[in-house]
A and B are shown apart, each in its own frame.
Chain A
Amino acid sequence: MKLFLKFDLNTAYKKILQEQLDKHTSDYALVSFGEVDINDSVSSEQLKELYAQLSSYGFEVVESNKSILIQKIKDTIVEMIFMEDDLPATKISSYLANKLNHSYGYLANVFSEVTYTTIENFIILQRIERAKQLLITNQLTLTEIAWKLSYSSVAHLSTQFKNTTGLTPTVFQRIINKRRKVFGEGKTEEPDAE
């Protein structure tokens, strides 16, 4: 049996975080997505325990400011590409700079310094990720996907898809379909919180 799930990342995130935090302190506040304020009275040992428990859910506590910034850049990009149906008309670079209150040059530098990849590459990776998702779950045609993800042409999408995955969209689709048959229960998630 195959289950195709749709879930709200935000809700899951909040629920798990609250559950874990409640075990150690009641004095905390969820500031924004990916940010928590905790009362200083919590001991460092308790904190360690909390990190360990959170990590079992895939949560990672980022410590340095740079790491936080990178996480924010990533979140903003992912949010832009995944959460919104249509991409904003403004360029991603200015959108990022605006939203995070840093110059784009600074953001790009920090990003490649820490991740060994560029913001542009990360954006392409995420867009192709989104394209893959649309190909598999929504069964959209390439033309529709190219339009939805604001590609200038189908050829451009195909080229980028091929450059990123080494496969054409059609072959990709075929492989995933075959793989689902081989492994039976395909664990397909759709983190598409609307």
Chain B
Amino acid sequence: MNFRKIFSSSVFLKSIFIISISILIFISSISYKHSVSLNDSSKWLTHSYKVHLELEQLITNLKSAESGQHGFIITQDTVFLTPYNTAKKEINISFSNLKKILADNKKQVSNLDFLNSLTTSRLKLLELALNLSSEKPFNKVLLGETMLLGNEVMLKIDKRVDQMIDLEMQYLKERRAKYENEISFTPIGTLFILLFSLLVFIFSYYKMNKDLLNLTKSNKELLIKTESFNHAEEIGGFSSWQWDLKTNKLIYSKNNYKLLGYEPEAFMPTLENFFDLIHPDDKDIILENRKKILNTNLSTNINFRIIRKDGSIRHWVSMSKLLIDSNSLKIRIGINRDITEQYLNNIALEEKNIALERGNKELATFNHAASHDLQEPLRKIQIFISRIVESKTSNLSETDTEYFARIQSAANRMRVLIDDLLLFSRTNKAEKVFEKTDLNILLENATQELAQVIEEKNAVLEAAELPKLNVIPFQIQQLFINLIGNSLKYSKKDITPVIKINCKKIMGWDEPTLKLDAAKIYYKISVKDNGLGFEQQYAESIFTLFQRLHQDSEYSGTGIGLSICKKIVENHNGFISAEGKPGKGATFNIWLPV
């Protein structure tokens, strides 16, 4: 049902939300990192400029100290010494500033230390030159040398400062490159991620919307189904229940209350109050079943009686099965069905069946006894007549003899009738023992029974291979005897009687004119002769009890033989039919199911 779909879609939605949130966190962290590095970058820029500025300042101060000294040396005016003095102070400040700024860079610190020593030596040389120039007369050569040395040192300072600036610029360049590298990815990535998030959100919205619609639809369907189920329960006379095996909670459908004789939801169903409603004689069945329910996963099916609220006893059948879902839910769901009417009908039917069976048995016994007991006096009548007729001492007139002959013939006929009736009643008897039997053997037995007639008539029997079938052996043997006997009886005098027995395996649908079971396999056995045959119009009636086609006393029969055949074939759930052509012969077809 939709239940599963919705369930799986909720898992899907949950995962979409988790993904979206992680994407948002990712974006935020990237933005944060980005602003931090921007900040760093500008700080470093300022840092570089400061170093640059401070170094420029240092050089400028040194230069102004130098030019002040030069001016003093030339003019010997002390005014020129003011910039020199301030420069010295400024240089110290510059150094301490630079030291602070560059404290975290070892290379620059060593450069600065070196610059510091150079600057110190430059200042010393300046002071030395100053002292030399103020000596009177001053040593021109020494001064010149000092100043030359000073100039050299100054060049070195310039060079070192340039180096430091270059280094700083290089750092700046590197950082810039790194920074640029970092921020160049940021805008595209962010945009991409944003777009992706947007997509995800749109999709989740669509999905949620759709699920919601589905859920509404399913709810509606569920409502309809529940209603129709309730309806079905009411009409079908059954009800359903659920028993949560973990919590022991019971839920009844509406109709379960009704079937118990209560209003829906009239009470809280519990195992105990249901047990109270069970017929005292059937409580054991319920207990047994509960044991089974608790201990096994098997489906159950029990019959028991309940006593309704109004005191009436109803017969129920209850079936249940176990429902286990992924949340290790264990519920027994069951169906109760009120089968009281069915039960009562069955009992009535059974009683009728028994009565019918008894009736049938009585009839068969009556038939048997009647024909058996009729034989006894008849036989005596016959014997007494035969004694009178054969007695040499009795003086019978011609008419008497004639009458006695007629009595004898009538009595004989009655005897044959009783014999055949007896045979017919035996065919009808209730006990029918089916055995897997080789029909070839039964046919062989039948020909043995008929051996004398076959020999007398010089008849030829051609039999095809017959199957092994589940039959009542003596009946099928009787069937063969009757059919072959029939063919022999109605054979033509002038030609050799030929009786052909054929057998064919067919499907029920091969013979649509008969009422055969279409999908069943049948054996069609036919007994064909070249005897007197009969008009096709009698093909049905020859199977009727006491029906005879030949009034001729030569072909007299009781009209029971073929009825017995029909009865036998019917006992085997088969069919029999006859085809005939006067003067050509007759064919009897038998269809026996496998």
By a beta-carbon cutoff of 8 Å, the part of chain A in contact with chain B is 153, 155-156, 158-159, 162-163, 168-171
A158 to B454 alpha-carbon distance, docked (Å): 11
- Which chain A residues lie closer than 8 Å to B452 at the CB level? 159, 162-163
A170 to B449 alpha-carbon distance, docked (Å): 10
- Which chain B residues lie closer than 8 Å to A159 at the CB level? 451-452, 455
- With both beta carbons as reference points, the residue of chain B lying nearest to A171 in the complex is identified as B445
A49 to B454 alpha-carbon distance, docked (Å): 56
- Which chain A residues lie closer than 8 Å to B444 at the CB level? 170
Shortest distance from the beta carbon of B447 to any chain A beta carbon, whole Å: 7
- Which chain A residues lie closer than 8 Å to B448 at the CB level? 158, 162, 168-170
- With both beta carbons as reference points, the residue of chain A lying nearest to B446 in the complex is identified as A168
Query: Does A155 lie within 8 Å of B445, measured CB to CB?
Result: no
Query: Does B455 lie within 8 Å of A156, measured CB to CB?
Result: yes
Could you show 11 A-B contacts with beta carbons less than 8 Å apart? A153-B455, A155-B447, A156-B455, A158-B451, A159-B451, A159-B455, A163-B452, A168-B449, A169-B448, A170-B441, A170-B444
Counting chain A CB atoms within 10 Å of each CB, which of B441, B445, B448, B454 scores highest?
B448
Q: Which of B427-466 contact A (CB under 8 A)?
A: 441, 444-445, 447-449, 451-452, 454-455
Q: State which size class the interface on B falls in.
A: 10 to 19
Shortest distance from the beta carbon of A45 to any chain B beta carbon, whole Å: 51
A159 to B452 alpha-carbon distance, docked (Å): 5
Majority SS of interface residues in chain A? helix
- Which chain B residues lie closer than 8 Å to A155 at the CB level? 447, 451, 454-455
- With both beta carbons as reference points, the residue of chain A lying nearest to B448 in the complex is identified as A168
- Which chain B residues lie closer than 8 Å to A162 at the CB level? 448-449, 451-452
Counting chain B CB atoms within 10 Å of each CB, which of A153, A155, A159, A169 scores highest?
A155
Shortest distance from the beta carbon of B460 to any chain A beta carbon, whole Å: 10
- Which chain A residues lie closer than 8 Å to B449 at the CB level? 162, 168
A156 to B451 alpha-carbon distance, docked (Å): 7
Shortest distance from the beta carbon of A133 to any chain B beta carbon, whole Å: 18
- Which chain A residues lie closer than 8 Å to B451 at the CB level? 155-156, 158-159, 162, 168
Shortest distance from the beta carbon of B75 to any chain A beta carbon, whole Å: 166
Query: Does A168 lie within 8 Å of B455, measured CB to CB?
Result: no
Shortest distance from the beta carbon of B383 to any chain A beta carbon, whole Å: 21
- With both beta carbons as reference points, the residue of chain B lying nearest to A170 in the complex is identified as B445
Query: Does B454 lie within 8 Å of A168, measured CB to CB?
Result: no
- With both beta carbons as reference points, the residue of chain A lying nearest to B461 in the complex is identified as A155
- Which chain B residues lie closer than 8 Å to A170 at the CB level? 441, 444-445, 448
Since A162-B451, A163-B452, A168-B445 are in contact, a sample of 17 more A-B pairs with Cβ atoms closer than 8 Å, ordered by chain A residue number, is A155-B447, A155-B451, A155-B454, A155-B455, A156-B451, A158-B447, A158-B451, A159-B451, A159-B452, A162-B452, A168-B448, A168-B449, A169-B448, A170-B441, A170-B444, A170-B448, A171-B445
Shortest distance from the beta carbon of A166 to any chain B beta carbon, whole Å: 11
A168 to B446 alpha-carbon distance, docked (Å): 9
- Which chain A residues lie closer than 8 Å to B455 at the CB level? 153, 155-156, 159
A162 to B445 alpha-carbon distance, docked (Å): 12
- With both beta carbons as reference points, the residue of chain B lying nearest to A159 in the complex is identified as B451
A163 to B455 alpha-carbon distance, docked (Å): 13
Q: Report, nearest first, the 4 A-B pairs whose CB atoms are least far apart.
A: A168-B448, A158-B451, A159-B451, A158-B448
A153 to B461 alpha-carbon distance, docked (Å): 13
A170 to B443 alpha-carbon distance, docked (Å): 12
A162 to B456 alpha-carbon distance, docked (Å): 14
- Which chain A residues lie closer than 8 Å to B445 at the CB level? 168, 170-171
Shortest distance from the beta carbon of A182 to any chain B beta carbon, whole Å: 20
A158 to B445 alpha-carbon distance, docked (Å): 10
Shortest distance from the beta carbon of A140 to any chain B beta carbon, whole Å: 15
Shortest distance from the beta carbon of A177 to any chain B beta carbon, whole Å: 14
- Which chain A residues lie closer than 8 Å to B447 at the CB level? 155, 158
- Which chain B residues lie closer than 8 Å to A158 at the CB level? 447-448, 451
Shortest distance from the beta carbon of A22 to any chain B beta carbon, whole Å: 51
A151 to B575 alpha-carbon distance, docked (Å): 39
A156 to B456 alpha-carbon distance, docked (Å): 10
Shortest distance from the beta carbon of A80 to any chain B beta carbon, whole Å: 25
Shortest distance from the beta carbon of A39 to any chain B beta carbon, whole Å: 55
A80 to B163 alpha-carbon distance, docked (Å): 152
Shortest distance from the beta carbon of A167 to any chain B beta carbon, whole Å: 9
A152 to B455 alpha-carbon distance, docked (Å): 11
A156 to B445 alpha-carbon distance, docked (Å): 14
A9 to B448 alpha-carbon distance, docked (Å): 34
A86 to B447 alpha-carbon distance, docked (Å): 27
- With both beta carbons as reference points, the residue of chain A lying nearest to B444 in the complex is identified as A170
Shortest distance from the beta carbon of A164 to any chain B beta carbon, whole Å: 12
